């Protein structure tokens, strides 16, 4: 029998949910990370949720990433688009393989992982209806209309991030809002690194009751 990563296309870790939870966190690591990096963060964000954590397939000087870049902050957009479609296929296959409720999947990404999560929202609207994006920037400017009504997004950004100016975070929030998403942009007085305050604020956001029309 083939291993799950051979069936689903990505080396990954899967941690089943507990106490009957149908929630799943799709954990997407940053440059140089792997499928283990965000498992502790996922446990803090949603203790009972299933955790699905793939490893990026692109290597940059030996460091795993989810898509290629041409320089710091300059993305290889065709590769990003292709890799985003590939990630969407993985999410659908994993949901079927592990009997996950697709409606209960929340994407949680840091840096490179947050950028491909943003791309996933824009290229596959409705596949993931909730996302936590830590230190995300605009993956690309959409050419056409995107329908994200009913999608919630938490963005954790650093006021002193040397890689992403505040205007970059604000532009991504604007793109998502223009598409109809409900966006919370939370600032920390820090740089690019993920902090305890980021995780705690995102945890509270995830735990808050969602108002439905």
Q: Which CA distances in Å does 140 have to 52, 62, 112, 136?
A: 25, 25, 13, 12
Residue in 111, 119, 157, 169 annotated catalytic: 111
Does the active-site annotation cover 111?
yes
CB neighbours of residue 169 within 10 Å:
23
pTM score, whole prediction: 0.95
Is 101 one of the catalytic residues? no
- Write out pLDDT tens, residues 153-200: 999 999 999 999 999 999 999 999 999 999 999 999 999 999 999 999
Candidate list 76, 79, 124, 192, residue with the active-site label: 192
Please tell me which residue in 12, 29, 53, 161 is annotated as part of the active site. Answer: 161
In CATH, which superfamily holds the domain spanning 4-205? Alpha/Beta hydrolase fold, catalytic domain (3.40.50.1820)
**Per-residue model confidence as pLDDT tens digits over 40-76:** 999 999 999 999 999 999 999 999 999 999 988 899 9
Domain ranges in the chain? 4-205
């Amino acid at each position: 029998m083939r291993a799950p990563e051979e069936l689903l296309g990505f080396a990954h870790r899967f941690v089943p949910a507990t106490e009957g939870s149908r929630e799943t966190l799709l954990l997407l690591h940053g440059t140089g990370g792997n499928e283990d990096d965000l498992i502790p963060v996922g446990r803090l964000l949603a203790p009972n949720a299933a955790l699905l954590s793939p490893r990026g397939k692109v290597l940059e000087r030996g460091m795993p990433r989810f898509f290629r870049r041409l320089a710091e902050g300059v993305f290889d957009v065709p590769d990003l688009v292709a890799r985003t479609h590939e990630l969407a296929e993985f999410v659908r296959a994993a949901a079927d393989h592990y009997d996950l409720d697709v409606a209960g999947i929340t994407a949680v990404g840091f840096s490179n992982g947050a950028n491909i999560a943003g791309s996933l929202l824009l290229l596959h609207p409705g596949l993931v209806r909730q996302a936590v994006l830590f230190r995300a920037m605009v993956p690309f400017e959409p050419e056409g209309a995107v329908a994200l009504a009913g999608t919630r997004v938490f963005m954790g950004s650093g006021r002193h991030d040397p890689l992403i100016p505040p205007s970059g975070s604000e532009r991504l929030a604007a793109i998502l809002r223009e598409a109809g998403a409900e966006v919370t942009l939370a600032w920390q007085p820090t740089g690019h690194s993920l902090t305890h305050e980021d995780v705690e604020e995102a945890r509270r956001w995830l735990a808050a009751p969602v108002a439905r029309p």
